[in-house]
Structure 1
Amino acid sequence: MGKATGFLEFPRQNEGYEPVVKRVKHYKEFVFALSDSEAKLQGARCMDCGIPFCNNGCPVNNIIPDFNDLVYRQDWKSAIEVLHQTNNFPEFTGRICPAPCEAACTLGINELPVGIKSLEHAIIDKAWEEGWVKPQLPRHKTGKTVAVVGSGPAGMAAAQQLARAGHDVTVFEKNDRIGGLLRYGIPDFKMEKSLIDRRMEQMQAEGVTFRAGVMVTDGELPAGIKNYARETISAQALMEQFDAVVLAGGSEVPRDLPVPGRDLAGIHFALEFLIPQNKEVAGDGANEIRAEGKNVIVIGGGDTGSDCVGTSNRHGATSVTQFELLPQPPEEENKPLVWPYWPIKLRTSSSHDEGCERDWSVATKEFIGENGKVTALKACRVEWKDGRMQEVEGSEFILPADLVLLAMGFTNPVGSMLEAFGVDTDARKNAKASTEGERAYHTNVPKVFAAGDVRRGQSLVVWAIREGRQAARSVDAFLMGHSDLPR
């Protein structure tokens, strides 16, 4: 490494945040990326550890020690070349990935780990500023055509890789803008959508065609997910018009909470709140679900719940409370027990810092209402014994609730799309496809592949990018007999 003793000399430097009082008044990003000099010192902290566990901790297997060293040497152009070898969209992961690579960092055993995510953020932002991110045109066209259904990170990664292999790629998206849940599920204050737009421009220059507002199914979307499609196309038509089809539609069926009072007005799935808000920020109409002046309760302690908290605070909610069914995790992980794997520990997001009461081991028993609208929530304490949940006797309590947002995750992809193609599903109703062997990502249907959340279930953006890239390699090999695309 460029600075063999850097980890002994320099502390971790975290990215800065705009003060809460200012950032809750807008929907723009509020994270201050590291300066060149700060990034240099952070890169210097990367140890000459011999076995870079960070590489395996990263789902796309970023070549982390190499770009850390290049940032230390201030060779930014080489750093982005290394980063792009494994990750098509580091501007996405550098902002919203939870950074499992840092959990696997060797320095993290007894010190704060290297700020790998912040370096990724700094590298790609520098690359865009300097004009180093350019279209990568194929050396020759194959004459083969591929349809990609879904324009989230898995679909975008697969489409870009296949276009660079010389195939003619068309991406179909049911919503009116490209990006999937990158566009509509993640608030702009975490990732501004101009980042998607400029990647689209690069991909269009590489030969990718985007068709938004087109739904590939004859069925209807489940409750809680609005359909913005302007037209439909059948699975049979895609099979007839294209040489291969990649299903990358994500996992969109939300987990419900069937307790008394669930049908009261004012109770919504998280995406019923987040999608219209992102559309409002984009200038596509007002969000009809408002949190201002209301007591908001968010049920679900994950990232989607955190996004609901941040959005509610920007609306001007009177109070925001977030419940989690599981026990409160420890503030610090047991590193000798879990390293280099992803640890269970208490994580506080920037949205929580903006104002939120958090509570754990809480189960909702009933929604209470007046005149058809929710006014309160009845809950109880629970305890876990031998993996089973038990109500704590006498622990019932009632909280005022004018708006309840259900953010308990997603159970499976939209079934109508899989049914339209005749794709077999696994026990969790995901598209059934292996990731190993010659038929990696290939479903039971000839020339139909599946990648991302539609195959593995709800997961991280970085996993979606990995699956999109790997599926693209399998599609390329299927079409051409071999593939030179990297995995």
Structure 2
Amino acid sequence: MSTPTGFMEYQRELPSDRDPLERIKDWNEFHRMFSEEQLRTQGARCMDCGTPYCHTGMELSGGASGCPINNLIPEWNNLVYRGLWKEAYERLAKTNNFPEFTGRVCPAPCEGSCTVGLIGDAVTIKTIEQAIIDRAFEEGWVVPQPPKSRTGKRVAVIGSGPAGLAAAAQLNKAGHTVTVFERADRPGGLLTYGIPTMKLEKHIVQRRVDLMAEEGIEFVTNTEIGKDISAKQLAEEYDSIILCGGATKARGIGPVEGANLKGIYPAMEYLNGTIKSYLDSNLEDGNYISAKDKHVIVIGGGDTGTDCVATALRHGCTSVSQFGTHAKAPLTRDQINNPWPEFPNVYTLDYAHEEAKALYGEDPRAFSVLTKKFVGDENGNVKELHTVQIRRYIDDQGRKIYEEIPGSEKVWPADIVLVAVGFEGPESTLIDQLGLETDRRTNVKAAYGKYKTNIDKVFAAGDMRRGQSLIVWAINEGREAAREVDRYLMGSTMLP
């Protein structure tokens, strides 16, 4: 333990972010970092629990509780407190291939299950994690570590998001020759195209990809398996295949009047276009959907919708609102329906909501809202959106029922509508070519912990197997799938 009474002596603190009204003028990361002394103080708050729930990685009530990749959190908290930063990095690297990603964009289920959170505020685990890996890169401790020998086995990894990268990294450590195929023009998958640069600057992704390439992993971009290369050809050329293509088939708005009007876009089309244009030309090529001087409505209350809000603000929108069918969360954890160590469902202002509130004076979110119809102008462009307030209850059969509240109808001006209501599952081209079995949600059917599909030598991991989920679950599955592929190829495995 860092200090037995640290959690009583010191208060939880977080670094202050850049001023919202300043940061919306650029696309740079908005977080600041603590000094070493402040980080050591926060590390001292860790209790080094006998049972460290922060690192257990369970699923409770449909959400993550604790770290799905089982980070050795109390150990590196203690090492940071003692000033042993290199040792802290070595502990962190044992379980997490990419702490520079999770330290920035993971929602930190570890903090939700921190034991200190039972009686006070959780340890600032995520901040310490990012500080460890950032320092490791600064000090030159993160260096290429190619395997000493090769097995002669070739593995194809389809998709270069967090699951694919984790699988590739682990299989390369085992000595296999790994090729990662990515259909976009840059590797990184969701990490590159999907998460805005103000949350994760893309040079950080490229830095890791470059490191992996130096370790011997081959990256092939602008190549879609199933179209540019057939699945059959791939199966003939490689000893094993891991499918990590994600759950990229966007869910539509449903049978809503006017949903085919111009100006209504899937959220990822909007985000991806902006990110690519920014990377290609600093937005000078104009190859993106601009929200400048537009009234923007975002339908969907999750992280993707929140990123749309932040992007629209940086475009210079006239107004932006974000709708969710869920009710406004309570200010404190509901100890009956949302007890520790479940991830706490409480009202918070995410970075985009802070920015919109600073600019417009109020939280841009509208809760318990159902979209009734879209109305267009004479040219077929959306101009307004009609909503009604709803209340949700669970019926006798456990189904969620949404009941409209009479008299709560409202009309919103809308020049651009961004639909961010989740994903239906993976795209079917590769699944059909390989003849893969799917589950009821159209995800590739492969048992958790085994990852083997119904087709010999084909494995699946990440969102393509489990559906839309967290980056840490993708890394978890990529690492575990690599272990099973190594076992399949070699008869046994030393991979964790």
- 3-state SS in 1 of match to 2:207: helix
- 1:378: which partner in 2? 386
User: How far off is 1:139 after superposition?
Assistant: 2.5
Q: 2:234 aligns with which of 215, 234, 238?
A: 238
**Structure 1 position 193, deviation (Å):** 0.6
Query: How far, CA to CA, are the matches of 1:95 and 1:173 in structure 2?
Result: 23
- Supply the distance in 2 between the matched residues of 1:381 and 1:265 (Cα, whole angstroms): 25
Aligned to 2:259: 262
- The answer to whether 1:417 aligns with 2:418 is no
Aligned residue number for residue 352 of structure 1: 353
Q: CA deviation at 1:338?
A: 1.4
Partner of 2:86: 77
Tell me if structure 1 keeps the 8 A contact 2:2–2:47. no
SS in 2 for 1:148: strand
Paired letter, 2:230: S
In structure 2, the residue matched to 1:7 is: 7
Contact map agreement 2:300 2:419 (CA 8 A) in 1: yes
1:66 aligns to 2:75 (yes or no): yes
Q: Distance in 2 between matches of 1:91 and 1:297?
A: 32
> Do the aligned residues in 2 keep the contact of 1:109 with 1:335 (CA within 8 Å)?
no
**Alpha-carbon contact 1:70-1:78 (below 8 Å) kept:** yes
Name the stretch that deviates more: 285-294 or 299-308.
285-294
Query: Aligned partners of 1:106 and 1:179: how far apart in 2?
Result: 34
Counting only pairs closer than 5 Å after superposition, residues 439-450 of structure 1 correspond to structure 2 as 440-450=450-460
Identify which of 191, 198, 207 aligns with 2:200: 191
The 5-angstrom pairing of residues 404-483 of structure 1 reads 404-436=417-449, 440-483=450-493
Q: How many angstroms does 1:135 deviate by? A: 1.3
Give the secondary structure class of the aligned counterpart of 1:339. Answer: coil
**Offset at 1:418?**
1.1
Indicate yes or no: 2:409 matched with 1:396: yes
Provide structure 1 residue ranges, at least 5 long, that are not aligned to the other structure: 219-231
Q: Out of 258, 273, 276, which is 2:273 matched to?
A: 276
- Aligned 1:280-299 pairs, distance under 5 A: 280-283=277-280, 285-299=285-299
**Runs in 1 of length 4+ with deviation above 3 angstroms?**
none
Deviates more, 1:169-178 or 1:322-331: 322-331
Please say which of residues 137-146 and 443-452 is displaced more in the overlay: 137-146
Query: Residue type matched to 2:232 in 1?
Result: Q
- The DSSP-based 3-state class of the residue aligned with 1:128 is helix
Counterparts of 1:332 and 1:278 in 2: how far apart (Å)?
Answer: 35
> CA distance change for structure 1 residues 129 and 138 in 2, over 3 Å: closer, same or farther?
same
Identity of aligned residues (%): 50
Q: Where do residues 43-192 of structure 1 align in structure 2 (5 Å cutoff)?
A: 43-56=43-56, 57-192=66-201
Q: Which ranges of structure 2 fall in alignment gaps of 5 or more residues?
A: 57-65, 357-362, 395-399
Letter in 1 for 2:436: V
Structure 1 counterpart of 2:210, from 192, 201, 209: 201
Match of 2:59 in 1: none
**Contact (CA 8 Å) 2:2, 2:46: kept in 1 or not?**
no
Q: In 2, are the aligned partners of 1:450 and 1:471 still within 8 Å (CA)?
A: yes
Shift of 1:335: 4.1
Kept in 1: contact 2:253–2:259 (CA 8 A) = yes
SS at 1:364's partner residue? strand
Name the amino acid aligned to 1:234: S
Q: 1:361 aligns with which of 363, 368, 373?
A: 368
The secondary structure found in structure 1 opposite 2:273 is helix
Q: Deviations over 1:291-316 (max 9, x none)?
A: 11111100000000000000000011
Opposite residue 455 of structure 1, the aligned amino acid is: R
- 1:223 alignment counterpart: none
Deviation digits for residues 404-427 of structure 1 (CA, Å, limit 9, x no counterpart): 000111110011121111110000
Deviation at 1:162, TM superposition (A): 0.4
**CA deviation digits over 1:407-450, x for unaligned, max 9?**
111110011121111110000000000024xxx00000000000
Structure 1 counterpart of 2:288, one-letter code? E
How far apart are the structure 1 equivalents of 2:122 and 2:431?
A: 42
> CA offset at residue 287 of structure 1?
3.6
Distance 1:311 1:169 in 2: 35
Q: Is the 8 A contact 2:44 2:81 kept in 1?
A: yes
Secondary structure at 1:184 match in 2: coil
Q: In 1, distance between residues paired with 2:73 and 2:407?
A: 52
Task: Give the superposition deviation at 1:347.
Answer: 2.9
* Aligned-residue offset at 1:323: 0.4
* Alpha-carbon contact 1:64-1:116 (below 8 Å) kept: yes
Aligned residue number for residue 338 of structure 1 = 339
Q: Is the 8 A contact 2:387 2:410 kept in 1?
A: yes
Q: Is the 8 A contact 2:53 2:113 kept in 1?
A: yes
8 Å CA contact retained: 1:279, 1:286 = no
Report the AA paired with residue 248 of structure 1: C
SS of 2:95 mapped into structure 1? coil
Task: Please give the secondary structure, in 1, of the residue aligned with 2:280.
Answer: coil
Taking the aligned partners of 2:288 and 2:52, their CA distance within structure 1 comes to 49
